Amino acid sequence: MGWQRRGKNDDQPIIPSHVPQRPDDSADSGHARLHALGYKQELKRDLSVLSNFAFSFSIISVLTGVTTLYNTGLNFGGSVSIVYGWLIAGAFTMAVGLSMAEICSSYPTSGGLYYWSAKLAGPDWAPFASWITGWFNIVGQWAVTTSVDYSLAQLIQVIILLSTGGKNGGGYEASKYVVILIHGGILFLHAILNSLPISLLSFFGQLAAAWNVLGVFVLMILIPLVATEKASTKFVFTHFNTDNGEGISSKLYIFVLGLLMSQYTLTGYDASAHMTEETKNADENGPKGIISSIGISILVGWGYILGITFAVTNIPNLLSPENDAGGYAIAEIFYQVFKSRYGNGVGGIICLGIVAVAIFFCGMSSVTSNSRMAYAFSRDGAMPFSKFWHQVNKQEVPINAVWLSAVVAFCMALTSLGSLVAFQAMVSIATIGLYIAYALPIFFRVTLARKSFVCGPFNLGRYGNVVGWIAVLWVTTISVLFSLPVAYPITTETLNYTPVAVGGLLILTVSSWIISGRHWFKGPVTNLS
- The Cα-based distances of 35 to 71, 115, 212, 446 in angstroms read 48, 15, 35, 26
- Tens digit of each residue's pLDDT (9 = 90 or more) over 280-318: 888 888 899 999 999 999 999 999 999 999 999 999 999
Residues 6+ apart with CB under 8 A from 155: 67, 68, 328, 331, 352, 355, 356, 359
Q: pLDDT at position 496, please? A: 79
C-alpha span between 200 and 219 (Å, rounded): 28
Q: Give DSSP secondary structure letters for 113-179.
A: HHHHHHHHH-TTTHHHHHHHHHHHHHHHHHHHHHHHHHHHHHHHHHHHHHHTT-GGGT-----HHHH
Q: Other CB atoms closer than 10 Å to residue 81's CB: what's the count?
A: 28
**Residue ranges of the alpha helices (H) in 343-490?**
346-379, 386-389, 399-413, 415-418, 420-427, 432-446, 464-481
**pLDDT value of residue 152:** 95
Q: Which class for 374: exposed (0-12), middle (13-18), buried (19 or more C-beta within 10 A)?
A: buried
By residue count, the chain amounts to 529
Position 500 scores a pLDDT of 84
Strand partners, 3: 458
For helices 126-163 and 432-446, angle between their N-to-C axes, nearest 10 degrees: 150
Radius of gyration of the chain (CA): 23
pTM listed for this prediction: 0.86
Which pLDDT score, from 0 to 100, does residue 49 have? 80
Q: Say how far residue 53 (Cα) sits from the centre of its chain.
A: 13
112 Rama class: left (phi>0) / alpha (psi -120 to 50) / beta: left
Angle at 14 between CA 442 and CA 268, to 5 degrees: 35
Angstrom distance (rounded) from CA 399 to CA 379? 14
List the chain residues with pLDDT less than 50: 1, 3-26
Q: What number of helices (H) and strands (E) belong to the chain?
A: 23, 2
User: CA 14, CA 37: separation in Å to the nearest integer?
Assistant: 11
Q: DSSP class of residue 454? A: P
- Which helix (H) or strand (E) segment holds residue 181: the answer is helix 176-194
**pLDDT for res 136:** 92
Chain segment 248-272, per-residue pLDDT in tens: 888 998 999 889 889 988 988 888 8
CA quadruple 30, 290, 434, 329: dihedral sign: negative
Q: Which amino acid, 154?
A: Q
Q: What is the pLDDT of residue 34?
A: 66
Neighbour tally for 287: CB within 10 Å:
30
Structural contact between residues 389 and 383, judged by C-beta atoms closer than 8 angstroms: yes
279 three-class SS: strand
Residue 14 has what pLDDT?
31
Going by the DSSP 8-state scheme, the letter that residue 295 receives in this structure is H
Which domains does the chain show, CATH number per domain? 51-517 (1.20.1740.10)
Q: Cα–Cα distance between 111 and 524 in angstroms, integer?
A: 9
Residue type, 522: K
Give the number of other CB atoms < 10 A from CB of residue 425.
Answer: 20
Angle at 525 between CA 524 and CA 527, to 5 degrees: 135
